[in-house]
Structure 1
Amino acid sequence: MAQWVERFAGDLASAGMPRMPARIFSCLLVSEERSLSSAELAERLQVSPAAISGAKRYLEQMHLIGRESEPGSRRERYRLHHDVWYEAVANRDTLLTRWVSTMQAGLDAVGPESHAGARMAETAAFLAFLRDDLGSVLERWRAFRGESS
């Protein structure tokens, strides 16, 4: 499984995810355990606990993993969110809305008749299209899975 973890982590890194968070995400994805502690992640990935710390924070901020308390201990365990891919895509709606707004502000600043304005208008239109279509894609996924809205 270590080879697979590194392979998928490489795929995620190629798509823009930092390497260590990609390795942790891949490790959690392939783990038979529901959750893993920092020490378990460090051991499986053969890295120091310090290397795990910032990467976990990144994954939490991206809404890809969550933490839970270990019963009878102060230690925390980390797990993938249920339906992690769905949630990751659904959370992009806020990001896309912010980017559309930022592009519009840039367009207002440079003017629609400029070359930069044309690029910003095209970018804003594309991002708005993605944002608006995202809801129907997620609905179709739920229907495919037999889930209700």
Structure 2
Amino acid sequence: MNAQHRQSDAPQDQEAISTFVERFAAQLVEAGMARMPARVFACLLSSDTGVLTSAELGERLQISPAAVSGAVRYLSQVDMVSREREPGSRRDRYRVHSDQWYEALARRENVLTRWESTLRDGVESLGKASPAGRRLNETLVFFDFLQKELPVMLERWREYRDELRADYDSAGD
């Protein structure tokens, strides 16, 4: 890792950053994420570059290389971080993208489609009139609603984000 990368990613108040990381990670855990992936994600999210090596993550979070490895494996599987090779090195680095939440939601469409298919089969198997069938059907209808609304909402977000970026760019002039 070069010195320029380290300098641009050095937080001014390490204690405040660490407090944020632990607080946000705890909230992600409360929402159902495992503790170590939550801490690694919050750490990446709070770094200036959004990119850290395994060693940097371990040092910042005071965790073992094995803990970092397990956390980034999970975060990669759920498309919350990507792994890339550091130029001129054999070390991997992990990146959280600026449009992380948008990308995560956009990729969920495939998951929702698979869930809808399985739920349809479940409704047919249990019968739409049974209590379990009604419950599954309500879930199916909810996911169908999300499938229709999500693209519209994501398009509105892209427009809003582009306006914000234009405002930031013009403020910097």
Q: Secondary structure at the match of 2:84?
A: strand
Q: Paired residue for 2:135, among 119, 138, 147?
A: 119
Q: TM-score, normalised by structure 1?
A: 0.94
State the aligned residue count: 147
- CA displacement, residues 24-82 of structure 1 (integer Å, 9 cap, x when unaligned): 01001111234111011011000111011111011111111111111221111111024
Q: How does 1:1-149 map to 2 (within 5 A)?
A: 1-146=17-162
Which amino acid counterpart does residue 128 of structure 1 have in structure 2?
D
Quote the RMSD (CA, aligned, Å).
1.2
Moved more, 109-118 or 42-51: 109-118
* Unmatched tracts of structure 2, length 5 or more: 1-16, 164-173
- CA displacement, residues 92-134 of structure 1 (integer Å, 9 cap, x when unaligned): 1111111111111101111112111111111100111012110
Which amino acid counterpart does residue 106 of structure 1 have in structure 2?
G
Q: Aligned partners of 2:118 and 2:110: how far apart in 1?
A: 12
Q: Secondary structure at the match of 2:89?
A: coil
Q: Aligned partners of 2:50 and 2:34: how far apart in 1?
A: 23
Q: Aligned partners of 1:137 and 1:58: how far apart in 2?
A: 27
Identity score, percent: 56
Q: TM-score, normalised by structure 2?
A: 0.81
Which amino acid counterpart does residue 149 of structure 2 have in structure 1?
D
* Unmatched tracts of structure 1, length 5 or more: none
Which amino acid counterpart does residue 21 of structure 2 have in structure 1?
V
Q: Aligned partners of 1:72 and 1:127: how far apart in 2?
A: 45
Q: Secondary structure at the match of 1:91?
A: helix
Q: Aligned partners of 2:79 and 2:60: how far apart in 1?
A: 22
